[in-house]
Structure 1
Amino acid sequence: MLRLVFSFLLVASLVCNIYAQITLEPERDSQQNVVIYAVNTAKIPYSVIISFSDLQNITIPGGSNVTSVASPGRSKVATLKPTMAGQSTNYRYSYSYAKGSIFGKSKFAPVYLIPVAEGTAVRASVNTNISKVVKSEVNADAYVGVSFHFDAPTTIVAPRKGVIADMKMDFESTSDNLTFTAEENFIEIYHEDGTLTKLIVLKSGSQKVQIGDEVFPGQDLAESGGNHYQNGIRVMMVNQKVEKSDMDKFRYLYFPVLFATEEGNQEIKAPTQLTVAHPVEVVTMELSKKELKQFQEGK
């Protein structure tokens, strides 16, 4: 039997996260506008597309759909105005949503920490798209993140400031010599520029954070896993952002990032040996004035 000895990651087109609860609540105001509110029970923003199949005496910006962002809690996502005052209105809609903010932007180009303890020697490699192995697909060479391999178990840390968006930490393998499994433990972080970082292959039950927690660069998240893999212990890191396709549907785009290393900031494009560095300028890059003061006082 052929044994596959590299890391892969399945690229999926994710429209809605089944664990999120995004609901819409239309209301009429005193001017007979229809104001649509989104109720988001998650701890992070979600992007929403509202598609209208029937509009009678109603005008909306953008034609037949509205793209908005639902903040945690209850927030306004659309306003439908009567085209002709004093006449009846009617509308029909459906909606889809995806994790993250489609309108999020960075104030500067972010730099990420390699998500393990400072001083750790790692072997970095770009993940192989599973489509390249089991299928002949157009996007088989698409970027799907980076793996960091190390010789001994270590602590996995936050690569960047953010909010814990999701996690799964109850998987324990009953097999050895695995290549990859979709059941693997992970912790996902939402960043204020609307993007997400997913850290995969973690020790079951080792999480030191909860969903909704704010985390800072270098903060302990969990312990490493991977003893049951052919390539040994490692952590996989995937960065993604939500975007709108030509068909007015959501999809996730995976993208490379700059990592802080002892040799300077660099993108991982090929297998390489690195020593993990946590430069102060990277750790403090996104801190508020209050957070920076607390960081300096805690040193």
Structure 2
Amino acid sequence: MKRSLVFLVLLARTLFAAEDNHTGFRVIAERSDDGVTLVMKSDYCVEFTVTLEATLKNMTSTHALPFTVDAAGRSSFVLAKFKRTDTTRPWSYNYYYHWEYGGRRDSTDNDYDYAMPFGPGRYVVMQGPRGSYSHFVGSGSENAVDWDVPEGTTVRAAREGRVVGVRDDSTFSGTDPKFKPLGNYVIIKHSDGTFADYHHLQTDGALVKIGDEVKVGQPIGLSGQTGFASKPHLHFMVFQAIDGKKVLSLPFRLKTDHGTVTDFIRGRSY
């Protein structure tokens, strides 16, 4: 879910904040006498990855550009500082930031038996891995599974972990990809550094909050149709961030009352 924002500043500027298309991610630029400080803020998530690019004129950055940083449990942090080099000359900067849910890790292993993210029963796959609608190669959701469930179905944790992202105030929904970052969700971080995304929850449908430790089978939300969705369903994905522009969707193994599943076929129940 790549996002980018561009700012151009010439000479002086006042405090300015811009929210990234109602996603809750934004950068605040705080001016000082010798330059500007960029502060990254998130309203809904404390585990995300940011990549910053910039072009500077008569300014230097506290970090070599471009660079990537993990929020690592923070909802607000200093992203970078740009300082004026020569105070007698004009200065300017352009910057672009990109963010993705989740953090980075050294491994791509995902050796765990996940539980069905619902109560007992069988559930139909609406879209499987590499589905042509939104799980195609390059989508960032290549190994995700969309489960065909009615709105209001109780969603349960498929693996124990800590809640690091919660949004349930969005009322946006549509079949245009522009709605992709506007879905409600719960994101859980696992002990091995992987993350699970439970997406498209209904408005006011979160049953947990950031910082909660959850167990397998614990109710965490109610399914819905917010964001980029053609009908009510649950988008379930295990993933990790690559940088602020890309995530790696990981294959997962699902253990059910009917056996262990690794292949998820559209239209079949599991």
Range into which the TM-score falls when normalised by the shorter chain: 0.5 to 0.7
1:119-159 C-alpha deviation (Å, 9 max, x unpaired): 32334461632279xxxx9869x7262134579x9632122
Equivalent residue letter for 1:22: R
Cα 1:206–1:67 shift into 2, 3 Å: closer
- Equivalences for residues 144-223 of structure 1 within 5 A: 145-148=144-147, 155-160=154-159, 161=161, 162-167=163-168, 186-191=184-189, 193=193, 195-200=195-200, 207=205, 209-212=207-210, 214-216=212-214, 217-223=216-222
Structure with a larger share of its residues in helix: 1
1:21-75 C-alpha deviation (Å, 9 max, x unpaired): 43245688xxx9986543444342332222221154736554x322223453432
Equivalent residue letter for 1:212: I
Cα 1:215–1:42 shift into 2, 3 Å: same
Give the count of matched residue pairs.
Answer: 234
| RMSD over aligned Cα atoms | 5.0
Within 2, Cα distance between the matches of 1:213 and 1:188?
Answer: 12
Normalising by structure 2, what TM-score? 0.59
Within 2, Cα distance between the matches of 1:157 and 1:102?
Answer: 22
1:47 corresponds to: 49
Pair 1:129 & 2:124 matched: no
In the alignment, structure 2 segments of 5+ residues that lack a partner are: 5-19, 174-178, 226-230
Equivalent residue letter for 1:19: T
2:8 corresponds to: none
1:52–1:93 contact (8 Å) kept in structure 2: yes
Tell which deviates more after alignment, 232-241 or 253-262.
232-241
1:113 corresponds to: 115
Within 2, Cα distance between the matches of 1:13 and 1:236?
Answer: 18
Q: State the Cα distance separating 1:115 from its structure 2 match.
A: 0.2
Give secondary structure in 1 for the equivalent of 2:123.
Answer: strand
Pair 1:38 & 2:61 matched: no
2:100–2:246 contact (8 Å) kept in structure 1: no
Q: State the Cα distance separating 1:194 from its structure 2 match.
A: 6.3
In the alignment, structure 1 segments of 5+ residues that lack a partner are: 1-11, 173-181, 227-231, 275-299
1:23 corresponds to: 27
2:66 corresponds to: 65
1:142-188 C-alpha deviation (Å, 9 max, x unpaired): 7262134579x96321223233422357689xxxxxxxxx6997533
Q: State the Cα distance separating 1:206 from its structure 2 match.
A: 7.5
1:195–1:241 contact (8 Å) kept in structure 2: yes
2:29–2:36 contact (8 Å) kept in structure 1: no
1:146–1:237 contact (8 Å) kept in structure 2: yes
Structure with a larger share of its residues in strand: 2
2:265 corresponds to: 270
Normalising by structure 1, what TM-score? 0.54
Equivalent residue letter for 2:198: K
1:76 corresponds to: 78
Q: State the Cα distance separating 1:116 from its structure 2 match.
A: 0.8
Equivalent residue letter for 1:189: I
Which structure would you say has the larger Rg?
1
Give secondary structure in 2 for the equivalent of 1:156.
Answer: strand
2:95 corresponds to: 94
Give secondary structure in 1 for the equivalent of 2:168.
Answer: strand
Within 1, Cα distance between the matches of 2:78 and 2:259?
Answer: 43
Within 2, Cα distance between the matches of 1:139 and 1:17?
Answer: 22
1:221-259 C-alpha deviation (Å, 9 max, x unpaired): 345569xxxxx9864423454434xxxx71444443222
